[in-house]
Chain A
């Protein structure tokens, strides 16, 4: 699975959009980009995933560059409950090993 690189932390103002970058320059053609988040003392929660195209769901939007070497997770209107560690992961369709890197610790401030 691809190695991913994320900034260790970022702050965001409540109500503003939060843009979380992720570099995955070694991602292979059959690997999806997945985003999870983990709120303190809870299990990781699936947010969104994509292969080539940009994706949007009720939680977030995912923008993947054309060369697939990086992506950005967008939380359109951050709330205090979005404070969490966000993980970007490259994962093959049949992959069994989910490897979380350091992630980005997002703090949403009032």
Chain B
């Protein structure tokens, strides 16, 4: 069964900490995405990558960075975590052409205290 795996389901971090969220896909997809989901705000795109070492800003990149050193792995980094980054973080991947849609991970619920 193809899948996108996020390293943690629940995470609690302190304000100011550097936080790494890891995502791995086994479908050989070129494109990978990081979204955050908040009640009433829907899904918002943070960053995406269409190839190894390539990255593009989404709608809300401030306070985040990403890394894609290998095709299967896309990491989201919170440089200095703040309480307004408490959210559900979703990683997704898809093939270059959107034929069968996106495959999402199970999500990481991050709480910054």
Chain A contacts to B: CB under 8 angstroms? 32, 34, 36, 41-46, 49, 91-102
Which A residues lie within 8 Å of B88 (CB)?
Answer: 41
Contact A44:B104 (CB < 8 A) given known A94-B98, A97-B58, A98-B92: yes
* Interface size class, chain B: 20 to 34
Chain B contacts to A: CB under 8 angstroms? 4, 31, 33, 35, 42-43, 45, 48, 50, 56, 58-59, 88, 90, 92, 96-107, 109
Which B residues lie within 8 Å of A102 (CB)?
Answer: 42
Q: How many angstroms between the C-alpha atoms of A45 and B92 in the bound complex?
A: 10
Do residues A95 and B98 form an inter-chain contact, with CB atoms below 8 A? Answer: yes
Q: How many angstroms between the C-alpha atoms of A97 and B43 in the bound complex?
A: 10
Which A residues lie within 8 Å of B50 (CB)?
Answer: 96
Do residues A44 and B90 form an inter-chain contact, with CB atoms below 8 A? Answer: yes
Complex A-B: 10 CB contacts under 8 Å: A41-B88, A43-B90, A43-B106, A43-B107, A46-B101, A91-B101, A93-B98, A94-B97, A96-B45, A100-B43
Count of inter-chain pairs, beta carbons less than 8 A: 59
The secondary-structure label for the interface of chain A is loop
Contact A98:B42 (CB < 8 A) given known A43-B90, A93-B97: no
Do residues A36 and B101 form an inter-chain contact, with CB atoms below 8 A? Answer: yes
Given A42-B107, A95-B98, 10 more pairs with CB closer than 8 A? A43-B4, A43-B90, A43-B105, A44-B92, A44-B102, A91-B101, A96-B50, A97-B45, A97-B58, A98-B45
